[in-house]
Chain A
């Protein structure tokens, strides 16, 4: 079980309020991702849940019981740190066994769980090495191993993949998702990478300056962002957001069109512009279009290879059914 509820939780460091009153419920077994720009309070929120930081006011409930003043070790949560925080002078085996030894489990049970975790994480061959003798990905797996042997009510991950290279990151992303499917344990995952958030999450919590901007499934956020901040943050490449006559024509202050919802043509279309930089990914191509009269740059995504060149004048047509409209405060219009 691992249902976590935050009720009117706030956190201040001295005078500075980092988390204004915040309510959030994380259901049992859910994979929740906290995402937001740097410094928005993701780590702080995670550390509040872990108990590594005292909350200034409010309550935290875990499985219906008040855990506000429960010390970290007693909350039944396991955390994977960004720096992995492995114990450098202990072998991998001892690292993974450490929480079990602290919990005074008997030797046979420790052995069984450590070997089980090592098998799941492909660490069996490395059990007698020191962390210093492992690659980044392997260290990451040891850190996860140390978390899973405790059989916690929930896992907390603080940007666990940010120290890995791009290829490894994709691999570990899948492994963590797999692990979640297998264990069906609550996981809270902090990242500033919206691709990680979209691909892994059951539920995404978008944060800005300690405020929750929107909570929802990845597709909810993609299809109906509650405001311009979420609209700009979720989706890659970013949504095109602009004000002006085109927006007013649609009764909105700001309108947004995702790059994949614009069709291009060399003959006719609603808008026109000049091709700037083209990013060829093979499967698709991103064009940065200038001089459209809408915004400095409009990004367009086109399937496959299209042979527009730098400086070509082309025509753009948005798909009217998926245009996003926002009012003067940046809130979504129905």
Chain B
């Protein structure tokens, strides 16, 4: 936007959206902060007055806090690594000319349209059930003892389920990025004597830099708050209690709104720390 005039016009045009979004964000945020300083137990007396920083202190000093932060970060990190790595491989595969390309691409995208609750239930009952699950049958076919996935390998299971949901998104974004790569660049690299791996490392990967950044940032936002997948599978047991899940338990299972709100504020802080951290690492890919 070049001129003074067009800049102020743009501000005016954007104002309604900005105001709406601000309101959308500010109202719940203010309420969360308000409740976090209160002792508020809906079924045990309701609003019992101000407590200062009591809720905050109680939330961090509870033994569940640090494990929940760790669980959150492990899930986010694990899913990011799996979706980005597999997403790049799948995108390169789908970029090859092949028979039935259109159908295959639609099939790859399909998991993204399945609701988290549904997909988690399908995984839980169809694949991971230690008696009737497909994995159990597979294990037995090879003469191995079936694994009780959700209790023995709970973290791995959750990461698998969530990765399966988000892989299509990563693949799709990375596929469009790969398709925009100038084929003459690859041919030039070929002439320059770059073997396959070097071509990937020096040409394809830098070209994908921006798309990978976007995938990481968007997924992080959603992964920090995954809930349904945990709710319907482990219910927060076996070390899969994330920060979001902990807050849910504090508010709804313990009926302690004040404590949960304090946890909400910690969740905001955690999200911001992760965001700053990510922008430091990958944010420069978005410039230029």
| Chain A residues proximal to chain B, CB less than 8 Å | 50, 52, 71-74, 77-79, 81-83, 85-90, 98-99, 102-103, 132, 146, 150
> Distance (Å) between the CB of A103 and the closest chain B CB?
6
Please state if A52 and B202 are interface contacts (CB–CB under 8 Å): no
Complex: how many Å from CA A83 to CA B189?
14
Contacts A102-B193, A102-B194, A102-B198 known; A85 to B207 CB distance under 8 Å?
Answer: no
Please state if B191 and A98 are interface contacts (CB–CB under 8 Å): no
B205 (CB) vs chain A CBs: closest residue: A89
Please state if B184 and A99 are interface contacts (CB–CB under 8 Å): no
Contacts A83-B184, A89-B209 known; A99 to B190 CB distance under 8 Å?
Answer: no
Please state if A146 and B192 are interface contacts (CB–CB under 8 Å): yes
Residue from A73, A74, A85 within 8 A of B184 (CB atoms): A85
Please state if A102 and B209 are interface contacts (CB–CB under 8 Å): no
Please state if B187 and A73 are interface contacts (CB–CB under 8 Å): no
Complex: how many Å from CA A102 to CA B184?
18
> What residues of chain A lie closer than 8 Å to B185, measured between beta carbons?
85-87
A71 (CB) vs chain B CBs: closest residue: B190
Complex: how many Å from CA A139 to CA B184?
15
B209 (CB) vs chain A CBs: closest residue: A89
| Chain B residues proximal to chain A, CB less than 8 Å | 182, 184-185, 187-195, 198, 202-203, 206-207, 209, 288
Complex: how many Å from CA A60 to CA B45?
91
Please state if B192 and A81 are interface contacts (CB–CB under 8 Å): no
Complex: how many Å from CA A150 to CA B184?
18
Complex: how many Å from CA A98 to CA B191?
11
Please state if A79 and B193 are interface contacts (CB–CB under 8 Å): no
Please state if B203 and A78 are interface contacts (CB–CB under 8 Å): no
Please state if B192 and A102 are interface contacts (CB–CB under 8 Å): yes
> Distance (Å) between the CB of A132 and the closest chain B CB?
8
Q: Which 9 A-B pairs have the closest CB atoms?
A: A73-B193, A99-B192, A85-B188, A85-B184, A89-B206, A102-B193, A81-B184, A85-B185, A102-B194
Contacts A87-B203, A89-B206 known; A81 to B190 CB distance under 8 Å?
Answer: no
19 residue pairs bridging A and B, Cβ less than 8 Å apart: A50-B191, A73-B192, A73-B193, A79-B188, A81-B188, A85-B184, A87-B188, A87-B206, A89-B207, A89-B209, A98-B189, A98-B192, A98-B202, A102-B193, A102-B198, A103-B193, A146-B188, A146-B192, A150-B192
